[in-house]
Amino acid sequence: MSENNTNGNSHLTEVTVLGTGVLGSQIVMQAAYAGKNVVAYDISQELLDKLPDRWEWMRGYYSTDVTGYTPELFDEAIARIRPSTDLADAVSGADVVIEAIPENLELKKQVWSQVGEAVPGHTILLTNSSSLRPSDFADATGHPDRFLALHFANLVWKFNTGEVMATPKTDRTVFDRTVAFAEEINLEAIPIRKEIPGYLLNSLLIPWLDAAAGLYVADAANPVDIDRDWKIATGAPSGPFEVFDTVGFNVSVNITRGNADATENQKKFADLLQERGIDKGRAGLGDGVGFYEYDAYGEIVRPNPDWEIY
């Protein structure tokens, strides 16, 4: 249950994650591995049937990236996960609902209004949206005082920031409890008290990715060489096209298509991501192929020749 105990630790034990795609599946495992009971909700049984494969994909990463990993701990986490395709059933016992459905404002409003009608009176309502303003759909939840953002980074177990961002209507206590919850699921909580489109990370990251995309559509250089330049000269571990692969092309395309002010270059790049990536099932690391081809451990094997200009 959700009462605070005398140590100030929250007892938010029952977690429901809406959407089991790239981020949702990672969030499910992050919470389950930290000991939470997790309901994984998606719109079809077919999608939920993919989860066991995702766990095995993640197990490879956990075994190398997570200190203290054991197969037993991972199996126990899997056993704490309950898949569901029934929304009311999925949220009716939740202390925390984390929404990771596609980045589409109308869809988020629609799903949140259904969730808002089915959740108990104490449930904290969190969105993982990357580019929409949480305040644009806070009222749709019916409980804007209990609604805010908890924004995960892709490869959650490793890049474990949790940006906690309030809307103007978020209750201060709910904000503080969300920060505590983020730490309970092994995130480094980053409190953002004023709503900023793109949080902290994406305010920095998106202009950088845009610049790389602009170089590519201007035929300046191959993606691998843009990445090499950035990595060698700055010491950064990844270049922008490796980051496009990690994020997954769907997110980039949705951000551009949802941006009324997108430039011609941004639109051209989004069309390329669609044609060469999404339409061919080669939309980044999650598919094993994006700008690069990956092995079963997510290591780069070679650049994908489809993207080479020269």
Helices (H), the chain: 22-33, 45-48, 51-65, 71-79, 87-91, 105-118, 172-184, 201-217, 223-234, 240-247, 249-257, 264-272
Name the β-bridge partners of 97: 16, 125
Considering the rule CB under 6 A, would residue 16 count as an interface residue with ligand NAD? Answer: no
Closest residue to ligand NAD, based on beta-carbon distance: 21
Interaction between residue 129 and ligand NAD (CB under 6 A): yes
**Nearer to ligand NAD by C-beta: 154 or 170?**
154
Q: Which of residues 54-73 bind ligand NAD (CB under 6 A)?
A: none
CB of 163 to ligand NAD, least distance (A): 9
Judged by CB under 6 A, the residue of 10, 16, 19, 179 near ligand NAD is 19
* CB 25 to ligand NAD: min, Å: 8
Q: Token digits for 190?
A: 């980053």
Site for ligand NAD in 92-111 (CB under 6 A): 100-103, 107, 111
Taking the complex as a whole, the smallest distance from the CB of residue 216 to ligand NAD amounts, in Å, to 19
Sole binder of ligand NAD in the list 251, 270, 278, 285 (CB under 6 A): 251
Q: Please, which residue, 29 or 111, has the CB nearer to ligand NAD?
A: 111
250-272 core/surface letters (b: 16 or more CB in 10 A; e: else): bbbbbbbeeeeebeeebebbbeb
The count of C-alpha atoms lying within 13 angstroms of the C-alpha of 52, restricted to the half-sphere facing its C-beta, is 4
Which residue shows structure tokens 């988020």? 108
Q: With DSSP H G I counted as helix, E B as strand and the rest as coil, what are the percentages for the chain, rounded to 5?
A: 50, 15, 35
Among 123, 141, 154, 266, binds ligand NAD (CB under 6 A): 154
Is there binding between residue 184 and ligand NAD (CB under 6 A)?
no
**Residue that is written with structure tokens 């490793």 in the block:** 158
Distance CA 32, CA 67 (A): 16
Q: Which residues bind ligand NAD (CB under 6 A)?
A: 18-24, 41-43, 47, 100-103, 107, 111, 128-130, 152, 154, 247-248, 250-251
